[in-house]
Amino acid sequence: MRFCLKRRWLLFLALGCGGLAGCGGLLQSDAPPLSHWWLDPVDLSGATSPDFAGHLVVQLSVVPGLDTDRILNLDEQARLNRYSGARWPDHLPELLGSLVARSLESAVNSPVRTGEHARQAECLLQLEVRRFYGRIDTAGVTRAVEIEIRGIEACGETTVPVSTLQRVTVETNRMHAIVSAFQQGLDRGLQEISGQLAAP
């Protein structure tokens, strides 16, 4: 009796393993592997910017649709989509808020804080990202990257509008070239914004 039970148990294990092996293909995905793409802060040390003496806070938001860590594109029919398997290291508000603050530190020669310190800020730079995506044609080819940022700098009684609109041509329809275009657009845009800031 024990021998029979043992044989049945071994048979059950063999069938179970065979079933799992047969389902192995179901556990594999044809989706492209997930890649996280990096953007660097901009070196603004040579830019002409006022000295904020540690009193500048950046508060950054994005328009609806852009609050994601997926790298987005927009086609000619106004359909917002994403590049398969491509992500930023964080959601766009957190990513760009950090990049803007770290970039401006090199321009103003003092620490720049982010949104959570806004109430204590002597100078507040409020930015809204309105475009941050690739532009694709009817064939699905990315032709350019568009970045638009608008906002105001408020220091005491002084309020100054700031803005930038960048369109950077993408050299090849590959992800590394698309991310490179985002980096170029961000470099140019933050240089423009830095030059628009007023002294506190």
Written as one letter, the residue type at 181 is A
* 144-169 pLDDT per residue, tens: 999 999 999 998 888 999 999 999 99
Q: Is a pLDDT exceeding 90 seen at residue 70?
A: yes
Q: Contact at 8 Å (CB) between 103 and 190?
A: yes
Q: How many CB atoms lie within 10 A of CB 109?
A: 12
pLDDT, residue 128, reads 98
pLDDT, residue 157, reads 84
Q: Which of the pair, 153 or 119, is modelled with greater confidence?
A: 153
55 — pLDDT class (breaks 50, 70, 90): confident
Q: Is a pLDDT exceeding 60 seen at residue 42?
A: yes
Give the 3-state DSSP-derived string for the chain, with helices as H, strands as E and coil as C. Answer: CHHHHHHHHHHHHHHHHHHHHHCHHHHCCCCCCCEECCCCCCCCCCCCCCCCCCCEEEEEEECCCCCCCEEEEECCCCCEEEEEEEECCCCHHHHHHHHHHHHHHHHHCCCEEEHHHHHHCCEEEEEEEEEEEEEECCCCCEEEEEEEEEEEEEECCEEEEEEEEEEEECCCCCHHHHHHHHHHHHHHHHHHHHHHCCCC
Q: Is a pLDDT exceeding 70 seen at residue 130?
A: yes
Q: What pTM did the predictor assign? A: 0.82
> CB-based contacts of 61: which residues, under 8 Å, 6+ apart?
93, 127, 128, 129
pLDDT, residue 96, reads 98
pLDDT, residue 72, reads 98
pLDDT, residue 21, reads 44
52 — pLDDT class (breaks 50, 70, 90): confident
* 165-193 pLDDT per residue, tens: 999 999 999 999 999 999 999 999 999 99
- Work out whether the CA dihedral 57, 187, 44, 99 comes out positive or negative: positive
pLDDT, residue 24, reads 42
Give the integer Cα–Cα distance in Å for 77 and 90. 28
- What mean pLDDT do residues 40-62 have? 84
